[in-house]
Amino acid sequence: MNVGTGGRVAGALLGSALAVLGAAPATAAASTTTEGPATISAGRLILEPTARGYQGSVPVTVTNRSGAAEYYSVRITEPVAGSFQGLRPTGACAFAGRVDDRRIVECGLPGPDLAPGERRSFAVAFEVLTAPRPYAMTAADGRVEVVPGHTGQVADGENFPTLFRSTDGSLRHPRPYVRDTEARAAIGASVGAVALARQADGTYAGRLPVTVRYAGDAPHDYLAVLATLPAGVEVTGTDPQDAPSFGGWFEVPGGQLSAGAERAFDVLFRALAGTVAGDLGTVELTLSTLSGADEVRDADPTDNVLRVTLDAVDNG
C-alpha cells in the first residue's frame, strides 16, 4: 500500500469562531480558537555508531488536552527506510503505508488511557544498518502524529530532525546519508552435494550448511529463499529457525542483516518414505531480499542462486 504523504494532518483545531464587530473593518476582526484534543512534541533523533550500524531513539510526549480520559495512538513516519524498531516502553504497532519508501507505522500509546490534562513521555527507537562513518550525516526528517481513539483523526503532528554521529563523536558539518537502492546479497555453500540418510520411518533426511552474505545497506525487512526441489523431496525448515517454511519458501533466520554481515545456518531436507536410494537430482536455492511484500532488486543476481545435488543413502 502506497501513501502519498505521511505529513498530511487532518483538522487539528476544534471549535474555531470568528467574531466580526459590526462597525469594524475586516482587518480588525477578532479571532479566537480553542486548542485541539491532544498535542505531541518530539526531540531530535541522534543515531550513535555501534558494532551493528547506528542506533538511537527520539523522545516524544503526548498531552491529553480534552476534558475526558482518552486512548491515543501514535503515527510514525521513519526518517530512513527500514529503520523503525518500536516504542520504549513497548506498544502494539501495525504497518500503515509508505512514503518515499519510508514506512508509516501506527502504535498504541504505551500505558493506560490518558486522564484529562495528563502528559506521557516515551521513546521511538530506530536502527540504521550501515557501516559507521568518520563524519556526521543527516537524513530526512521523521514525523510523529497523535490520533485520539474516538475520532481516528490526526490531532497534532511534529517533524523531528535526524543526525548520525561520526565515529569520533562529532555532529558538526553533516553530509547527506545516501543509502543503497539495490541489494547486494549472496548465498553459498562449502559442499556441492548433500547425503540424505535413511530414517527409522523409511524417510530420508539431511542438511546443507549455507552462508548468506549482505554487502550493502539497502533497506530490507528480511531475506528469504525459494527451493526448487526434485520430486518427492521437501524442505522441512532451517537450523536455527525463526519462522515456519512452506511450499519451498523459508526465511533466512536472524532478521535484517547489517552491511557486511554473514549468517550461517543449515537447510533441512527430507525425502518421502519409499524413495529409492541413489541420486535424487538437483535442488536450486534462490535468495531474495524483501521489504514488506516487495522484492528489492539485487545488483548482481548471479550470486543469489545455489545448486547442490541430493543423494539418498541407506545405512549399513
Distance between CA 45 and CA 53 in Å, rounded? 15
Distance between CA 311 and CA 276 in Å, rounded? 10
* Run of H or E residues at 17: strand 14-19
CA geometry: angle 82, 134, 56, nearest 5 deg: 35
Evaluate if residue 7 carries a pLDDT over 90: no
CA geometry: angle 41, 43, 49, nearest 5 deg: 150
Lowest mean pLDDT among 1-15, 116-130, 166-180, 210-224: 1-15
Q: What is the pTM of this model?
A: 0.78
Evaluate if residue 10 carries a pLDDT over 60: no
Evaluate if residue 302 carries a pLDDT over 80: yes
Distance between CA 208 and CA 189 in Å, rounded? 8
DSSP assignment of 43-109 equals --EEEEEETTEEEEEEEEEEEE-SSS-B-EEEEEE-SSTT-EEEEES---EEEEEEETTEEEEEEEP
pLDDT for the residue 24: 31
- Banded pLDDT at 35 (limits 50, 70, 90): low
83 to each of 78, 140, 232, how far by Cα in Å?
A: 7, 12, 41
Pick from 150, 201, 159, 173: nearest CA to 43: 159
pLDDT tens digits for range 143-163: 999 999 988 899 999 999 999
Ramachandran category for residue 51: left, alpha or beta (phi over 0 → left; psi -120 to 50 → alpha): alpha
pLDDT > 90 in the chain, percent: 79
Is the model more confident about 52 or about 163? 163
Distance between CA 97 and CA 183 in Å, rounded? 22
274 to each of 68, 121, 207, how far by Cα in Å?
A: 69, 63, 20
pLDDT for the residue 32: 29
- Banded pLDDT at 183 (limits 50, 70, 90): very high
- Banded pLDDT at 213 (limits 50, 70, 90): very high
- Cell numbers 547425503: residue: 195
Evaluate if residue 125 carries a pLDDT over 60: yes
- Banded pLDDT at 315 (limits 50, 70, 90): confident
* Run of H or E residues at 228: strand 222-228
pLDDT for the residue 6: 33
Residues in contact with 257: Cβ distance below 8 Å, sequence separation at least 6, in sequence order: 129, 185, 212, 214, 220, 223, 263
Residues in contact with 137: Cβ distance below 8 Å, sequence separation at least 6, in sequence order: 163, 164, 166, 174, 175, 176, 177
Pick from 165, 179, 151, 135: nearest CA to 71: 151
pLDDT for the residue 152: 87
pLDDT tens digits for range 61-92: 999 999 999 999 999 999 999 999 999 998 89
Helix (H, G, I), strand (E, B) or coil at 9: coil
Distance between CA 58 and CA 111 in Å, rounded? 18
- Total H helices, total E strands in the chain: 0, 23
Evaluate if residue 222 carries a pLDDT over 70: yes
Distance between CA 27 and CA 295 in Å, rounded? 57
Question: Is the bond into 37 cis (omega within 30 degrees of 0)?
Answer: no
The average pLDDT across 133-151 equals 96
pLDDT for the residue 247: 85
Average pLDDT score over the chain: 88
Evaluate if residue 284 carries a pLDDT over 70: yes
| Beta-sheet pairing, 45-50 with 156-164 | parallel
Distance between CA 261 and CA 186 in Å, rounded? 11
Evaluate if residue 30 carries a pLDDT over 90: no
Beta bridge partners of 233: 271
